[in-house]
Amino acid sequence: MRGSARLELLRTLALVLVIAASVAAFLQAARTTEDTTQTDDVSIDPRLSTNQPESPAASPCPPSSELIEPFYGMQFVQQDELGTVRKLGVEVVLMALPHDGAPSDWLGYLDAAKAEGIHVIPWLWPQGWTWVGATWEIDAQARLFLRTVAGHPALLATYGLHEPYWNECEGCGYTTAAQQALYRAIKAIADVPLYSEINGIAYWTARGEATAFADGICDYCQTSYYPFKDARVYERDRAINGLRTDLAVARDRAPHSKIVWTMPAFAYPGGGFRVPTAEEMRDLASVVYSEQIAGAWWYPWQFSDLYTDFLRNHRELYPSVRAIFDDYVQRAKTARCAS
């Protein structure tokens, strides 16, 4: 990999240091909000809700109780805003759930999502599994979590690992074999699909066989490139090349793994990233949904403990978020069903 590309990936991976430290604060803020206040008004823009159904249009595919791919998703949506994002076309959400919570806490979120017709990838935080020596130790609370959510009709997958090849610093990551060991350990506890945010499938594969992507790491495997930079820069070609390169490596090395792409919409001081324009959102989504992905989502809906700006703040973008579902996502579903 060329030096500039490597530096760009490492810059993106460095966000993990801040993200990991912020998830706990996000969970605490979510609990406080749910317990003491009502959510700020985030009613749908009138331009969007006029002549629009309360939930996304019926799928063009034959009726099915299963989620039809490619899905359309959103990360970090609090429970009281599930209905809002559903009106924007969202079918899947990713949300952190507390490790110190009770089954009623975890099921409460899943039940609320089911009521809105939304599938969930819950991220138990802290995750509850630790690599010790040459094996994974999974604590009792994590085991309870896995058994509690397994089989819930709203569950799409459970969150496995975040940036596992990186793991917060250069040289600190897990090998492919270690990740496969976790996959087997979790499956032995509960029959749940596993989702991990890999980021850089081709990059890590090129670094050697120990970190080469393979089946048996995750059922849903995420990757991304963040193209929306300060000074109105849109690194479109790099994003498209990254998407297609990662997909090619995944098809070759892990044909049974489903690939999910993250589309960014955030900003923070000194971070170099920004929320995209409506035109940029539509452009990126049109390319992403033309590829053979299992789904894609916007990151994040809100995350005030980490970012100063995110999609929830931009009501002017809501019509575009919905239009992407009605156009590109539905078109991709139709093509997938036809094939």
Query: How much is the pTM?
Result: 0.88
Cα gap 303→311, rounded to integer Å: 9
Contacts of 235 (CB under 8 A, 6+ apart): 225, 227, 229
Q: What is the mean pLDDT of residues 228-233?
A: 96
328: which 2 tokens? Answer: 């590109």
CA 318 from centroid of its chain's CA atoms = 19
Average pLDDT, the chain: 88
Contacts of 231 (CB under 8 A, 6+ apart): none
247: which 2 tokens? Answer: 């997909």
Q: What is the mean pLDDT of residues 323-332?
A: 97
Phi-psi region of 16 (alpha: psi -120 to 50; beta: other; left: phi over 0): alpha
Please give the class, per CATH, of domain 3-338.
alpha beta
Cα gap 74→85, rounded to integer Å: 8
Q: What is the mean pLDDT of residues 277-304?
A: 98
Cα gap 205→1, rounded to integer Å: 11
210: helix, coil or strand?
A: helix
- Contact status, residue 326 vs residue 317, Cβ threshold 8 Å: no
User: At residue 137, what are phi and psi to the nearest 5 degrees?
Assistant: -105, 120
pLDDT digits (tens, 9 = 90+) for 2-25: 444 554 555 555 555 556 656 666
